[in-house]
Amino acid sequence: MWKSFTPPGWLWQPGCRIYFRQPGCLFLLVFSGVEYYHIYISNEAEHGKTVEEGYGVIQVKVKVILNPVAGRGRALKAKPQILKALLAYNAELHLEETKGDYHATEIARQAVRAGFDLIVVAGGDGTINQVVNGLGEERIPIGIIGCGTGNDFARALGMPADPVAAVHRVMTGETQLVDLCRVNQRYFVSSVGIGFDGEVAFHANRGFRWVRGKTAYLCSIFKTLFSYRAQRIKLTVDGLVMEFNSLLVAVTNSPTYGGGYKINPEALINDGLFDVCAVQYMSRPEIIACLPLLLPGWHRSLKKVRMAKGRSITVESAEPFYYQLDGEVLTDKSLRFTMLPRALAVKGARVEPLSGLEVAEEKPARAKEA
């Protein structure tokens, strides 16, 4: 038996009524902080019928995965705005908050089994990474509401920074196909940073509570300056082998990382290629002198920097190294990267079409200078 409830003014959208199976459930969900709920919305002005009469329910199932700690609590603060914006659309909404490490991955797997049509992620690059690893190669569209510390993938997709604007873009925009990346057995969407980058991400994740984005990344860089040791790295890009004492190796799908630093400015998320920035070891004064060049992407002309593009990448070392995977810090001695061209469907993304994309996919893998 369907019941109806007129929501308070901050949730109200003209011409809409909210229907739910158990009296009071929406009221409890909105005001008592329950983390999972199930809402149906009917627009009577458009359909002219009520749910009781068998009309007005749009059969689009939307799963919303929200990370309450993303962006030092930014996602949780934006939750009322996100809900209000979502309630403007005809959809069956299920919202669930993550409760710990890799919970978003499990929620995404359950969403696949439950037959959802769209998964909306409210969080940062790390939350998106977990969701993508739950989806695997399933082509269920995802929508991105960037509420994290860096939001580099949302930026590459052209998503608005404002959560409400991002909701509207997701719910009304077209679905675009972008590249899905894999390193060893894990998928990623934005970047992998090896060596110095891994330690920077480690410090960024542990501290700097009151700053986000580029500022947090910059603070982490200065902290890492006093602890990082160079490692001998063997980097192979489509058969081209380079061995050197490494400061960092960044393998990216997005042009930026660390909240907007243009590490691979020419990277495109739908060209079927990884972009690689390999930097030989530098002294502390050299690093400090080069930092201003990183934000606008002017580091590419430096003698100790090499840029490349390719589809098959390996990074090896005799000793374990730190690396960050969309912000998550891990360790290993060998990484093998695989590109899955245009295997991830993103709703609301604004990605420039590439006229030569089909040709790039069919040509034999071959490294080239950026």
Handedness of CA 330, 206, 155, 305 (dihedral sign): negative
Q: Are residues 22 and 112 in the same domain?
A: yes
Q: How confident is the model at residue 339 (pLDDT cuts 50, 70, 90)?
A: very high
Question: Is-contact 93 19, C-beta < 8 A?
Answer: no
Alpha-carbon dihedral angle through residues 148, 93, 35, 87, given to the nearest 10 degrees: 70
Range of the domain at 121: 3-179
If we measure between CA atoms, which residue out of 146, 147, 143 comes closest to residue 178? 143
Q: Give the three-state DSSP class for 290.
A: helix
Q: Are residues 269 and 240 in the same domain?
A: yes
| pLDDT digits 0-9 by tens, 97-156 | 999 989 999 999 999 999 999 999 999 999 999 999 999 888 899 999 999 988 999 999
Number of domains in the chain: 2
338 pairs with which residues across the strands? 182, 312
Q: Would 244 be classed as within a structural domain?
A: yes
Q: Would 334 be classed as within a structural domain?
A: yes
Q: Of 118, 152, 179, which marks where a domain is finished?
A: 179
Strands 61-66 and 92-97, by their bridges, are: parallel
Q: Are residues 212 and 278 in the same domain?
A: yes
* Average pLDDT estimate for 340-355: 91
pLDDT of residue 81: 95
Q: Give the Cα separation of 258 and 268 in Å (integer).
A: 17
Six-digit token string for 183: 């390193």
| pLDDT digits 0-9 by tens, 77-98 | 999 999 999 999 988 999 999 9
